[in-house]
Amino acid sequence: MNKPLPEDPMMRDLVKMARRHQMTRRTALAGAGAAATTLALAACSPAGSTSTALTPAVDVSDSEKTLVWHNWPAYMDESEDGKTYPTLARFEEQSGIKVEYKIEIDDNNSYYGKVKDQLALGQDIGADIACPTEWLVARLVNLGYVQTFDAANIPNKANLAPAYLGNSFDPNREKSLPWQGILSGIGYNKKAYKAATGKDAPTTMSDLWAPELKGRVGVLSEMRDTIGLILLEQGIDITSDSSLTLDAFMNALDFFEGKVTDGQIAKIKGNSYLEDLKNGDTIAAVAWSGDITVINAETDSDNFGFVFPESGATISADSFVVPMGATHKKNAEALINYYYDPVNAAELAAWVNYVTPVVGAKEEAVKLDPALAENQLIFPSAETLAKTHAFRALSGSEEQKFTAAFQKILLGA
Q: Where are the domains of the chain?
A: 9-180+317-375, 182-315+400-407
Burial 46-71 (b: 16+ CB within 10 A, else e): eeebbeeebebbebebeeebebbbbb
Q: What is the dotted CATH code of the domain comprising 182-315+400-407? A: 3.40.190.10
Neighbours of 384 (CB within 10 A): 17
Predicted confidence band of residue 40 (pLDDT cuts 50, 70, 90): very low
Predicted local distance difference test score (pLDDT) of residue 413? 67
Residue 135 pLDDT exceeds 50: yes
β-bridge mates for residue 98, sequence order:
66
First to last CA, the chain: 42
How is the beta sheet containing 98-103 ordered, strand by strand? Answer: 98-103, 66-71, 129-130
Mean pLDDT, residues 338-363 taken together: 95
pLDDT in tens, 142-197: 999 999 999 999 999 999 999 888 888 999 999 999 999 999 999 999 999 999 99
Predicted local distance difference test score (pLDDT) of residue 328? 98
Residue 43 pLDDT exceeds 70: no
Predicted local distance difference test score (pLDDT) of residue 59? 98
Residue 87 pLDDT exceeds 90: yes
Q: What is the dotted CATH code of the domain comprising 9-180+317-375? A: 3.40.190.10
Mean pLDDT, residues 8-26 taken together: 36
Residue 32 pLDDT exceeds 50: no
Burial tier of 181 (Cβ tally within 10 Å: 0-12, 13-18, 19+): buried
- Could you give the percent of the chain with pLDDT greater than 90? 73
Q: Which of 67, 135, 119, 70 is nearest to 97 (CA)?
A: 67
The least confident of 19-28, 354-363, 366-375, 392-401 is 19-28
Residue 357, classed as helix, strand or coil, is coil
Residue 41 pLDDT exceeds 70: no
CB 314 within 8 A of CB 141: no
CB 68 within 8 A of CB 100: yes
Residue 130, classed as helix, strand or coil, is strand
The least confident of 50-54, 275-279, 355-359, 408-412 is 50-54
pLDDT in tens, 208-261: 999 999 999 999 999 999 999 999 999 999 999 999 999 999 999 999 999 999
Residue 212 dihedral angles phi and psi, to the nearest 5°: -65, -15
Residue 8 pLDDT exceeds 80: no
- Could you give the percent of the chain with pLDDT greater than 70? 87
Residue 6 pLDDT exceeds 80: no
Please provide the average confidence, as pLDDT, over all residues in the chain. Answer: 87
Using CA atoms in the order 64, 65, 68, 71, what is the torsion angle rounded to 10 degrees? 160
β-bridge mates for residue 178, sequence order:
319
Strands 177-189 and 284-288: antiparallel
pTM of the model: 0.81
Mean pLDDT, residues 10-36 taken together: 33
Identify which has the larger pLDDT, 27 or 395: 395
Mean pLDDT, residues 34-57 taken together: 53
According to DSSP, residue 392 is labeled: P
Predicted confidence band of residue 22 (pLDDT cuts 50, 70, 90): very low
Residue 324, classed as helix, strand or coil, is coil
Region for 312 from its dihedrals, namely left if φ exceeds 0, alpha if ψ lies in -120 to 50, beta otherwise: left
Predicted local distance difference test score (pLDDT) of residue 204? 98
Predicted local distance difference test score (pLDDT) of residue 271? 85
Residue 33 pLDDT exceeds 50: no
Strands 177-189 and 304-307: antiparallel
Mean pLDDT, residues 77-105 taken together: 95
Predicted local distance difference test score (pLDDT) of residue 301? 85
Residue 50 pLDDT exceeds 60: no
Residue 39 pLDDT exceeds 50: no
According to DSSP, residue 201 is labeled: S
Alpha-carbon distance 20 to 18, whole Å?
6
What share of residues in the chain are helix, strand, coil (percent, to 5)?
A: 45, 15, 40
DSSP code per residue over 22-55:
-BPPB----SS-HHHHHHHHHHSPBTTS-SS---
> Taking the alpha carbons of 55, 56, 57, 58 in that order, is the dihedral positive or negative?
negative
The least confident of 39-43, 72-76, 179-183, 404-408 is 39-43
Residue 304 dihedral angles phi and psi, to the nearest 5°: -120, 140
Alpha-carbon distance 402 to 408, whole Å?
10
Predicted local distance difference test score (pLDDT) of residue 393? 84
Identify which has the larger pLDDT, 207 or 5: 207
Predicted confidence band of residue 65 (pLDDT cuts 50, 70, 90): very high
Q: CB-hemisphere CA count at 13 Å for 296?
A: 18
Neighbours of 275 (CB within 10 A): 14
Angle 342-352/329-339 helices, nearest 10 degrees?
A: 80
Identify which has the larger pLDDT, 297 or 149: 149
Residue 69 dihedral angles phi and psi, to the nearest 5°: -125, 125
Domain 9-180+317-375 shares a fold with domain 182-315+400-407: yes
CA distances from 2 to 159, 176, 268 (A): 20, 16, 36
Q: Which of 335, 328, 281, 329 is nearest to 94 (CA)?
A: 335
